[in-house]
Amino acid sequence: MKKRLSIFIAIAIIFIIIGVVRFKKFEYGYVPSDERIINKTLNYDSLKKVATKEEVGNEDKMKLGKEKFFTESFGNEIFFTDIMGITNGPFTLKNVAIAVVKLRGQGTSNLKVEAAQSYKSGNISIKKGDLIDTGIDVAKGAYAPIGIITAIDKGVPKVGVACAACHATVDKKGNVVAGSPNSDFNIGLILAMATNSSSYFTHTELGNIRDFIESGNVNSPSLPDIKKLEKYVDSEFVKWIPGSNDTTIDLKNNPVQIPDAFTLGDGPYGWSGQGQVGPFNGLSAAINNAHSQNMDAVSQSEISEPVLRIDKDLYLGTLLQNAANKKYRYNPNSNEKASNFFKKVDPNPEAPGVSELVKAATYPRISYLQSVGLLPGSPGYKVWEQIDSISLYMNSLVPLTSDIKKDEKLFNVGKEVFSKAGCTKCHGGKYLTNNKVIEAEKIGTEPSRAAGFKGTQLFFTDPKFYDMNTEVPLPKKPKVKDLELSTEEKKSLALSWAHGTSKGGYKTISLYGLKFSAPYLHDGGVAVGKNGELGLPNTLMKGKIADPENSLQAMLDSQLRKQVIEANYSSKELRTSHVTGEGHEFWVDETTGFSIEEQQALINYLLKVND
């Protein structure tokens, strides 16, 4: 009886809030107290030594960065709710609220949400009333998920996403680990259950969108058959393993593992290292890519024709023809072009997209600073200010120490093996990385994602940026500066962006925090369970987490890796989403003269190296 009453009260509160703010805008995101965050952070004075004075600002900027890391959506709730319809299907805001209340303040790393309706796509079959494993985290004592932003605009509830949804998690006690990857966040399934997941079609192996066009009218480009396209896009998204997300608009289904946000010393940023220049050594550019490109598909409307070879009206019409909110729903049978229709309803007419975006200094062209020619920025702030504050905060985050019992002798043996095996050639120095991008052919990992930015060269220009004191909204004639690049920077960037004849590459990651970032490699394909379950089909795809110790052994042991790869290849879903677990064949096993004891010592060292 008490259980039902608490749920009833929670729902009642939601509707009271909706009623109170029916004609106002209300927005909320959970920000954990410093005491609730259990991993260490570097102090402000430490960070002043590794960034420019203009970048670090003052201590208030660090506080702003924490707030924005956990709560800043830049208004992407309009795209996710009004256009994509992320809460209009089996995954509803009401049932999320009920699931959170049922926790009774205990917290969870996997919020189980009751399905509001049945759903089926690919190998996924959910019945109404089933509990959906979302992988969404809720901290102890909190009544809102981490990184999930609730906004109510004129009485209409909307849901947005902040950095922390992917880059923070909770431990078994419900304490927050800021910067740790949310390795079971079921992004693909949540997107697939949206009523208009087609609005995110550029993140699938679509090929030619015209293959989905059956008929149209003479006044507007013919649009894809929405049912056919929706079914296809859903079937692509449900292939994504928990803890992964497709982050490029290359019409390839190539999700990557969510990286950690322990960013200090770990540049270049992004799996292919595309964030190399600009504020905070490219970190802000990488964050910009996440918010201006991946959180609002409408933002790509100005580059759809030159980069994707899709007519602008065809692109916008495809995104909007099945929009969840009638306000944004385009009627393909009207005598109006999709672009003209969107102008009438665009909440941000100063720049493409429905989020809080501004035109970059190179707009509409792309540069190494902006992958879609735009910048996220809210009125009242300076350009880059919000993103730079997030960069500052992320650079302050330190991985949680492991809970592995200290064995100094074993640790030192592992350190010796690390050096003897040649690991320091790439993973040396203070942060255990050489901060370089390695050619995809050389590292041998699945190559699809490495070329994810290749299409941008079709509409590219040299990078420019606004004076950092430029306010948002932009003045009529903002001050613009050229960003000078060295010959070495140009070479490295061309590799990261796969420009010219390059096939792209992958960055050398820091080895800090490996205890909390399994499975391994960019595709997350190296996974072994606690009881020896091999590959993703037997771990994450069955709701079992990847064990860091056993998964690291698969990184080092040639025979074990072979078995993991074979298990991955047994899954059609993984094969067709470019997830294999191949590459990085730097073995520390009997084939290279190392004993099993030395291999285990190295694993111990890698798991404890940042303690």
Contact (CB, 8 A) for 492 and 498: no
Q: Using 50, 70 and 90 to split pLDDT, how confident is the model at 221?
A: low
The overall average pLDDT reported for the chain is: 94
Q: Using 50, 70 and 90 to split pLDDT, how confident is the model at 229?
A: very high
Nearest Cα to Cα of residue 245 among 237, 80, 78: 237
| Residue 165, pLDDT above cutoff 90 | yes
What tens digit of pLDDT does each residue of 178-192 get?
A: 999 999 999 999 999
CA–CA dist 376, 352 (Å, integer): 11
What per-residue confidence (pLDDT) applies to 15? 46
Nearest Cα to Cα of residue 9 among 117, 17, 158: 17
Mean pLDDT (whole number) for 469-475: 96
CA–CA dist 46, 565 (Å, integer): 42
Give the chain's end-to-end CA distance (angstroms, integer). Answer: 47
CA–CA dist 292, 464 (Å, integer): 17
Element (H, E) at 134: none
Q: Using 50, 70 and 90 to split pLDDT, how confident is the model at 16?
A: very low
Residue 494: count of CB within 10 angstroms of its CB = 17
In percent, the amount of the chain with pLDDT more than 90 equals: 89
pTM summary value: 0.95
What single letter denotes the amino acid at residue 183? S
CA–CA dist 353, 372 (Å, integer): 11
Contact (CB, 8 A) for 194 and 88: yes
What per-residue confidence (pLDDT) applies to 12? 44
What tens digit of pLDDT does each residue of 394-425 get?
A: 999 999 999 898 899 999 999 999 999 999 99
What per-residue confidence (pLDDT) applies to 215? 59
b/e sequence 138-154, b meaning 16+ C-beta within 10 Å? bbbebbbbbbbbbbbbe
Least confident of 17-26, 223-232, 263-272: 17-26
Nearest Cα to Cα of residue 199 among 50, 373, 68, 318: 318
Nearest Cα to Cα of residue 191 among 291, 294, 72, 316: 294
Contact (CB, 8 A) for 349 and 343: yes
What per-residue confidence (pLDDT) applies to 420? 98
CA–CA dist 87, 228 (Å, integer): 21
Tokens of 360: 């970059």
What single letter denotes the amino acid at residue 467? D
Contact (CB, 8 A) for 134 and 168: no
Tokens of 328: 């944004």
What tens digit of pLDDT does each residue of 94-116 get?
A: 999 999 999 999 999 999 999 99
Nearest Cα to Cα of residue 37 among 548, 398, 405: 398
What per-residue confidence (pLDDT) applies to 26? 82
Mean pLDDT (whole number) for 541-567: 97
What per-residue confidence (pLDDT) applies to 277? 97
What tens digit of pLDDT does each residue of 479-529 get?
A: 999 999 999 999 999 999 999 999 999 999 999 999 999 999 999 999 999
CA–CA dist 180, 137 (Å, integer): 12
To 5 degrees, how large is the angle CA 8–CA 13–CA 19? 125
| Residue 14, pLDDT above cutoff 80 | no
Nearest Cα to Cα of residue 450 among 164, 223, 261, 256: 256
Residue 315: count of CB within 10 angstroms of its CB = 25
Mean pLDDT (whole number) for 291-312: 96
What per-residue confidence (pLDDT) applies to 390? 98
| Residue 553, pLDDT above cutoff 90 | yes
Who contacts 121 (Cβ-Cβ below 8 Å, separation ≥6)? Answer: 192, 231, 234, 235, 237, 238
| Residue 365, pLDDT above cutoff 80 | yes
| Residue 436, pLDDT above cutoff 90 | yes
Mean pLDDT (whole number) for 68-86: 98
In percent, the amount of the chain with pLDDT more than 70 equals: 95
